[in-house]
Structure 1
Amino acid sequence: MVTIYDIAKLANVSAMTVSRVINNTGKISDKTRAKVKKVMEELHYVPNSMARSLVLQETKMLSLLITDITNPFYTTLARGAEDAAMKRGYKLLFSNSDEDVAKESEYVDMVLSTRVDGVLFAPAGDDSLSHLEKLRKHGIPFVLIDREVPGMESDTVLGDSKEGARKLVEHLIGLGHRRIALLNGSLDVSTARHRYTGYKEALKLSDIPFDDELIAESAYSRSSPNRTIEAIERLLQLPERPTALFAANNFLAIEAIRAMRDRGIRVPDDMSVVCFDDLDLASVIDPFLTVAAQPAYQFGTIGVQLLLDRIQETDGAEWRKIILPSEMIVRKSVQPFAEL
């Protein structure tokens, strides 16, 4: 293995000079810098990133901890974060908690051992508070993306879940629907709470009584399809079944439509469906679901910008909260309610 001492010997300089060239520190003439770099290239030397991080007190690495990389929203968010990080000379480490707080804990420990410079963090739920406190205790800057956690102040990038949910439900109401079901994620997750609030607000503004029987809960990810099937079966068995469904995210909508199709319920003929978050490219080729689409790429780019600002901050600037609006896209999964 080539060492800085090998380079120093061939370049006829000290090992300290080689170290300064590698780390871009200290005053070195352009001639000496060029000579050292030429020897490094000839020997195919690759700097030891761990040793470099110890010298500079930085790794030039960021961590992105999200809940489900298979969700198109997070896939696009990750791309935005990676592009923004690369432009600033940082690498991005990806971790996926699967909406599992225990798995998330393991990744937080990995982040601490890796000593990344900062973390973009989409928490699995309110129980993630202890993980965030651990990062703060160890001096690792972080930015919360998509979700917030009660009791933790930080820089945050959120979508306007309440407003987006309200608009979707108002759209259904405008088409004549009154029996509108909500298929939601766990209320331990902030986005689920906000979308629940937006749903209730839309009903109240239209003088439609809230019916707790129309509320069903499942998991935000694809990990629990049986829970979604059970929720749909219960809704379909109500004495007065709903005419429309608001699914709180795209995975819930897909599983719900699949469950209804298997039971002979056609969308939108028998049941109109809307959901939060858009799907992947398939929805562009054959648009179907009416959605509240969030600017996922911007979540990633803005999150990285806030994180790098926080890493470089020295005077304890105030926490910043960025709320990004969603765009309602009307497609084929809804139709006016015609009472028979």
Structure 2
Amino acid sequence: MTKKVTMQQIADHIGVSKYVVSKALSGKGGVSEATKERVIEVASQLGYFAQNSGYVKPGKPGQEDNKFPEAAIKQSVLVLMPNIRFQTRESVYWGRILDGIASRLEEKGIGVVIVMEQKVEGFMQLLKPEGILGMIGVGEIASSMLLEVHRLGVPMVLVDHEDALIPTDTVYVNNYDCMYRMTKHLIGLGHRRISFIGNERYSRSFFDRWNGFRQAMEEFNLWDKQDHLTELEIMEHYDEPIQAWLHRRKKQQQLPTALVCANDSIAIDSYRAMRELGIETNSHISVTGFDNIDDSARHSPTITTVNVPKEWLGSRAVDKLLERIERPKDPLEKLMILGELVYRQSISAVKQ
């Protein structure tokens, strides 16, 4: 039988007192961020978070809670989607995931409370374990927030994000595989100068898409990191940086024959940038996106992309959370939802 990992073991491993470890894991002040991060890292490595603990356990469906005002929905699920990097309800990507979550919860007769708080302090004022069944995190969420949820013993599922320090169920699309297949398809059409546009640090999905692209390029000995635009700052539109990058490539007579964009919005911005430079019609640059947002089908030309079943991601997150509540000791799972390549007008074979 595996021995229980204690705070003293963590303290001995790091070389600090048990008191420091206790404060770091409880989320209390008086411990530097560097020390807190180190404590969390070591605790995770030793398996502290994976074991049963004395955390507060949330209620289950059917339990009443008289501490909450009627405005707060009893038997509800908290959905955390910090308003960063355009992760909002209005987003054509994140918003559809929220729709899937809300619809599935409504089918189950469970309420939903959506929180877009970015700071731990504000979030903790809203997080009341006795009033929620569990939490679904959508998009990138700070480790400090996830630690507080885990510390309180609240079941949680993450969508399109995972944290190496905090064990939890996750729901993803097979971003790597889809981008790998998309890139190989372009190579099959004769493209050899293929560039990726997107910031691989934006999200776990972008990171996986970047790696899928890179793997396909390396297999055909086409890899050259200098050919790619991966330093995009987080902004609403990318026309200007893409235009500057394309302008430089044009002057060097090194325009790519295909652009593999991290998502559809970047693909649409790429077309606007090309139009500004007057290179859209005479360069025959193929462009691909990812996510299959509505605008990708309305764009002229229609954009080849990967259909991400966004509502289904949300629905499956709800299902996984309810399974976790019913069977808390089951092994953690990483659910991979399959995306589908959608071929449209924006790509063509290289003209000989």
Q: Deviations over 1:61-97 (max 9, x none)?
A: 2222332333323222222111110111112233457
Call closer, same or farther: CA 1:305–1:327 in 2, change over 3 Å.
Answer: same
C-alpha change, 1:244 and 1:267, in structure 2 (3 Å) is: farther
Structure 2 partner of 1:166: 180
The AA in structure 1 aligned to 2:312 is: Q
**What residue in structure 1 maps to residue 37 of structure 2?**
none
Residues 159-210 of structure 1 deviation map (CA, whole Å, 9 limit, x = unaligned): 1111111111111111111111101224262112211110111112223233
1:62 match: 77
Superposed counterparts of 1:10-159, under 5 Å: 50=68, 59-66=74-81, 67-96=87-116, 103=118, 105=120, 108-109=123-124, 111-112=126-127, 115-124=131-140, 128-159=142-173
Give, in whole Å, the separation in 1 of the partners of 2:304 and 2:282.
11
The answer on whether the counterparts of 1:267 and 1:333 sit within 8 Å (CA) in structure 2 is no
Q: TM-score, normalised by structure 1?
A: 0.73
Identical positions, percent? 23
Residue 257 and residue 284 in structure 1: after superposition, are their counterparts in 2 closer, same or farther (change >3 A)?
closer
How far does residue 268 in structure 1 lie from its aligned partner after superposition?
A: 8.8
> Which residue identity is paired with 1:61?
S
Partner of 1:200: 214
Asked if 1 retains the 8 angstrom alpha-carbon contact of 2:160 and 2:171, the reply is yes
Alignment partners' CA distance in 2, 1:221 and 1:142: 29
Larger fraction in helix: 1
Contact 1:79 1:297 in 2 (8 A): yes
Q: Is the 8 A contact 1:164 1:276 kept in 2?
A: no
Shift of 1:106: 6.6
Judge conservation of contact 1:163–1:198 (CA < 8 Å) in 2.
yes
Cα offset, 1:235, TM superposition: 4.5
Distance in 2 of aligned mates of 1:105 and 1:223: 29
CA 119–228 in structure 1, closer or farther in 2 if over 3 Å, else same = farther
**1:118 is matched by which residue type in structure 2?**
G
8 Å contact kept, 2:238–2:266: no
Asked if 1:181 is matched to 2:195, the reply is: yes
Equivalent residues of 1:248, 1:276 under 8 A apart: yes
Deviation string, structure 1 residues 134-181 (Cα, Å, up to 9, x no partner): 211122221110222222321110111111111111111111111111
Change (3 A) 1:324 1:72: same
User: Would you say 1:249 and 2:263 are equivalent positions?
Assistant: yes
The unaligned stretches of length 5 or more in structure 2 are 1-60, 82-86
What residue identity is the alignment partner of 2:333?
R
- Asked whether the 8 Å contact 2:200–2:230 carries over to 1, the reply is no
Relative distance call for 1:24 and 1:189 in structure 2 (3 A) is closer
Query: What do the CA deviations read for 1:3-29 (whole angstroms, capped 9, x no partner)?
Result: xxxxxxxxxxxxxxxxxxxx9789xxx
SS in 2 for 1:245: strand
Q: Distance in 1 between matches of 2:238 and 2:125?
A: 27
- The amino acid across from 2:110 in the alignment is Y
Change (3 A) 1:330 1:276: same
Deviation at residue 269 of structure 1 after TM alignment: 5.2
Matches within 5 A, 1:211-230: 211-219=225-233, 222=236, 226-230=240-244
Corresponding letter in the other structure for 1:90:
I
1:234 & 1:132 partners in 2: Cα distance? 42
In 2, Cα distance between equivalents of 1:211 and 1:222: 25
Q: Distance in 2 between the 1:145 and 1:268 partners?
A: 41
User: Is contact 1:157-1:322 (8 Å) kept?
Assistant: yes
Task: Quote the offset at 1:318 in angstroms.
Answer: 1.1
Partners of 1:287 and 1:263 in 2: how far apart?
17
The letter of the residue matching 1:91 is G
TM-score by length of 2: 0.71
Q: Which moved more, 1:302-311 or 1:264-273?
A: 264-273
